[in-house]
Amino acid sequence: MHPHRRHLAAFSVLVSALVVSAPAAAQGADLVLKIGHVAPLTGNQAHLGKDNEIAAKMAVADLNKAGIQLGGKKVRFELISEDDGADPKQGTAAAQKLVDAKVVGVIGHLNSGTTIPASAIYHKAGIPQISPSATNPKYTQQGFDGAFRVVANDQRLGGVLGRYAATELKGQRVAVIDDRTAYGQGVADEFVKGLKSAGVEVVARQYTNDRATDFSGILTAIRGKKPDVVFYGGMDAVAGPMIRQMRQQGIDATVVGGDGVCTGDLPKLAGPALGDRKLFCAEAGGVTGAYVAKDKAFRERFRKETGQEVKLYAPYVYDATMMLAEAIQKAQSADPKKVIAALKGLKYEGVTGPIAFDAKGDVLSGTLTLFTYEKGSRSLVRVIQ
């Protein structure tokens, strides 16, 4: 039996006198529990959002095969997926839709810029939210007891990258560009702090936006500073074309980026301009030891079932969804407030590793994985714990 199915089968062994409060319950034999999912399903980040949505569907399908019961009734999980377009206003509208649908919890959002404003809506409604990818520290610093994330935040990710650029890449003249989103600016700010802690100063700082296609102005300004390292805070859809234009302008600097850049699609987006070992990036997560095999098995299953590779966050979405379901089991209730309480003390063994939260809702482990690109493919540099 698949290890996840063995794990899920244990969910069905429950106390027969269980009392259930299920705001999303349906009339009939099955108890229907709605799980919300939000990501950009349209726009230039749709490839990442759809990757997340597929993983959430996989998790829900596994849960429905497990024969989970609450209060003597078989549970059927239903995924309600919303598109936030990576836009804060659209994100809050999507959040309100899920609140109105009486979901028991939300997996999302993908971006910090949509996660943070949406979190206030979920908090007011008392609904737990587990983000598989939002890294801006502010998300869990608002005092919202239902806000959780399963990846390290920008303070760790950006700081590590800054020190790596200074000490390992020997950067002496470093330029920084960000897309002014909560994620892009946040990770760039933390990168600069990490850089300065290693004794290296920034020679240029420029800004773009998350839908830009022409970078000639900012690249001309940077080229005059003769950087040996350029950091970009943003997502792969902008990073790819930017790298192409950097090389066209004769900027041969090594590029460094956060997890938004660190995707399987980047070689296609950047083309030959990406080069070999000319870009280094960090993913907010990482597996070691026995979890390497579990992560590999998930990625192989994903490929078999979808015909495509995991792009970035799918394993974390899968774990977040399964963790929400396990919290329901631990709480012996689908009351969102009781689920939040269960999440706070939960220790979950996922495909990405062990997951538990601190008092603010940040993941305790904070593992990072450094990657580079060679011959058009992403390759592992090392895992940092």
Chain-centroid distance of CA 220 in Å reads 32
Residues 6+ apart with CB under 8 A from 231: 161, 162, 165, 174, 175, 176, 177, 188, 191, 255, 256, 257
Residues 244 and 271: beta-carbon distance below 8 Å: yes
254-257 and 279-283: which strand pairing?
A: parallel
Encode pLDDT of 130-177 as tens digits. 999 999 999 999 999 999 999 989 998 999 999 999 999 999 999 999
Tokens in use for 185?
A: 């600016």
Question: Is residue 54 scored above 70 in pLDDT?
Answer: yes
279-283 and 348-350: which strand pairing?
A: unpaired
DSSP 8-state class, residue 354: E
The mean per-residue pLDDT over the stretch 268-277 comes to: 97
Fold equal for 3-152+287-366 and 154-283: yes
Encode pLDDT of 66-118 as tens digits. 988 888 889 999 999 999 999 999 999 999 999 999 999 999 999 999 999 99
**Distance separating alpha carbons of residues 364 and 340, to the nearest angstrom:** 17
The mean per-residue pLDDT over the stretch 309-332 comes to: 95
* Assigned CATH for 154-283: 3.40.50.2300
Question: Is residue 289 scored above 80 in pLDDT?
Answer: no
Residues 6+ apart with CB under 8 A from 61: none
For every residue of 51-86, DSSP letters joined together read: HHHHHHHHHHHHHHHTT-EETTEEEEEEEEEEE-TT
Domain definitions of the chain by residue range: 3-152+287-366, 154-283
Residues 151 and 285: beta-carbon distance below 8 Å: yes
- Smallest CA-to-CA distance from 198 within 179, 240, 170, 232 is with 170
pLDDT of residue 292: 87
When pLDDT is cut at 50, 70 and 90, the band that residue 20 belongs to is very low
Question: Is residue 4 scored above 50 in pLDDT?
Answer: no
Neighbouring C-beta atoms of residue 114, cutoff 10 Å: 30
DSSP 8-state class, residue 273: G
Helix runs in 77-181, H state only = 88-100, 112-125, 154-167
Q: What angle do CA 370, 374, 378 make, to 5 degrees?
A: 45
pLDDT of residue 30: 85
Residues 114 and 317: beta-carbon distance below 8 Å: no
147-149 and 202-207: which strand pairing?
A: unpaired
**Distance separating alpha carbons of residues 253 and 231, to the nearest angstrom:** 10
Residues 189 and 161: beta-carbon distance below 8 Å: no
Residues 6+ apart with CB under 8 A from 105: 35, 36, 127, 128, 129, 130, 324, 327, 336, 339
Q: Where are the beta strands (DSSP E) in the chain?
A: 31-39, 69-70, 73-83, 105-107, 129-131, 147-149, 174-178, 202-207, 229-233, 254-257, 279-283, 348-350, 353-355, 368-374, 377-384
**Distance separating alpha carbons of residues 151 and 366, to the nearest angstrom:** 6
Tokens in use for 312?
A: 């970035």
Encode pLDDT of 207-239 as tens digits. 999 999 999 999 999 999 999 999 999 999 999
Q: Which CATH number fits domain 3-152+287-366: 3.40.630.10, 3.40.50.2300, 3.40.190.10, 1.10.357.10?
A: 3.40.50.2300
pLDDT of residue 29: 60
pLDDT of residue 384: 86
Q: Is 147 helix (H, G, I), strand (E, B) or coil?
A: strand
pLDDT of residue 381: 94
**Distance separating alpha carbons of residues 308 and 323, to the nearest angstrom:** 25
pLDDT of residue 16: 29
The mean per-residue pLDDT over the stretch 26-35 comes to: 76
The mean per-residue pLDDT over the stretch 333-361 comes to: 95
